[in-house]
Amino acid sequence: MFRTVDSDNLNPNNSSCHGLHPRLGRPGWSGFWAAIRDNRGTFLLETVVASMIFSMVGVAVLSSLGTVNIAGALTEEQSQAENIARNQMEAIFNRVYREPDQTPYPTIALPPGYTVTIDVTHLDGYTDPEVEKIALTISHHGKEVLLLETARYRTDGMRLAYSASPDRSNPSVLVDAVLDGTVYVFLDDPTQLIDDQVEFFMDGFGPLQTENFIHWDFEGSAGVDPADPANPWNTSAETNGPHTITAKARLNNGETVNVTADFTISN
């Protein structure tokens, strides 16, 4: 069967007409687009606010990541510097004692970008054994990262000494001594680390005497036998005042070590 609809009854007040609107759809879409037009400003404001929030969150995240990366790099740099300082100091203590005016202690192999500076200072006021201060400065790409300082005592037993007797008996330490008259100066090597040569310097001049046999006498000895007496040194021939004697000794391991003594002549 077919139902006939009277077109004359299609008016806004007709219930049948209201029933057709949803199926035709046109009045519904018109309302939707009108609502969008009415809310365009609201949507724009919400978009801007959301963008600002995301931007702030992004900046905070990136800033946090940057801080973490910087902190991690600094921690790695400090850790590497501490490791270098520890290995360098161990290498120094494994070598013979070196006085400040000697060839510096050699540096260890370093990672790229790192440098180490070794500063050695002789500590005044110490006579036996001698003491030196060692300062290590670790830098990374020119920036100082770590400073490590320690003191090292002379443990090889070598010292410059003097005696009033040619047989070198009852010796005294030459460091800070006050000399007059005739004395017998020699390099004492109780553990026999010296190989075959000692050169003596005084006040920066020399070598004034080169010894190739024990004992190691500043003025030489009467012979090459260890029992031969030492030659005397007449301090009256020198000017009164402070002086320095340095003995440069070649050791059994091939290294060279200096032994220095500051003293005073008063005749």
CATH of 159-265, one of 1.10.3470, 2.60.40, 2.10.260, 1.25.40: 2.60.40
| Domain residue ranges of the chain, discontinuous segments joined by + | 20-155, 159-265
Using pLDDT thresholds of 50, 70 and 90, give the confidence band for residue 127: low
Task: Find the mean pLDDT for residues 214-228.
Answer: 90
pLDDT averaged over every residue in the chain:
80
* pLDDT score recorded for residue 198: 95
Q: Residue 251 above 80 pLDDT? A: yes
* Mean pLDDT to the nearest integer, 221-237: 92
pLDDT of residue 59: 60
| Partners of 114 in the β-ladder | 140
